Copies of this chain bind each other. A is one copy, B any other.
């Protein structure tokens, strides 16, 4: 099974002003990221506005990612839907388009029923029938539920469960997941704000939103850490954290897309109901990128 090692951006989906997917801009981004120090691509994560896309758009984006990615990069696709059945169907269609593993969001609509046995039953069925390995995707800020250690343990032994991406932002939880799960259950950190703490726990893979706009900065944190340049890793992590806050907690995916545009990628428009940023927000993001040295002469 694939080992997740390195930085994988959860790539954004640029839209045209009329709301169409801007596939040319999408390919431009991949080509540019191909020159960056990345281990792969996650297409159709939360930062791709996946919930806004049609099935056809999703499959085309997977295909474009797989066909344009530099050789050797891992292709991950977000395929979680509310039912195990539809998730299996999308996962296997994604596999046909080149996805090598699937990131499967926890179902959450009928939240009162989504207890541990329900989640275990769901992920077990998906894993049993998926043609590619799956990763559990835990992102409480969107789903309003937090995967328990019991769910992780129950699924950790399944041969087709590769592990989990945890975007809770809680380092203690990452550590508990990392230690408690089986050896084959990989824990991937889902936010750049916890990147270095996660590496120190022993985690080796990251899927941080920030890697859209600042892929090499994220990669350098990991490289410095792995080369034993702890001090430099720390300094860079400290510089990146406020940037990460801006493109996640403060301004969300709209902010991430604008930051990506500032860095030479094509952010494009968001889809309604998301709203474009006003000038004040744009200036704020530009300033934060500048202060962090991500944007500008010293970047």
Contact = CB atoms under 8 A, between A and B. Distances in A.
A175 B193 contact: yes
Give the number of times this chain occurs in the complex, counting copies.
Answer: 4
Given A54-B86, A169-B172, A238-B175, A142 B273 contact: no
Interface residues of A, number: 64
Given A85-B19, A110-B252, A272 B121 contact: yes
Interface stretch (A24-32, A37-45, A194-202): A194-202
Interface stretch (A59-67, A216-224, A241-249): A241-249
Interface in A141-182: 141-142, 144, 169-172, 175-176, 179-180
A82 interface: yes
A22 interface: no
A172 B200 contact: no
Nearest to A57: B86
A9 B54 CA distance: 29
A113 B274 contact: yes
Interface string A248-280: 010011100000000000000001111100000
Contacts of A118: 273-275
A215 to B, nearest CB: 19
A221 B20 CA distance: 48
Given A85-B272, A274-B118, A254 B175 contact: no
A119 interface: yes
A130 to B, nearest CB: 14
Given A179-B242, A254-B113, A86 B52 contact: yes
A118 B252 CA distance: 14
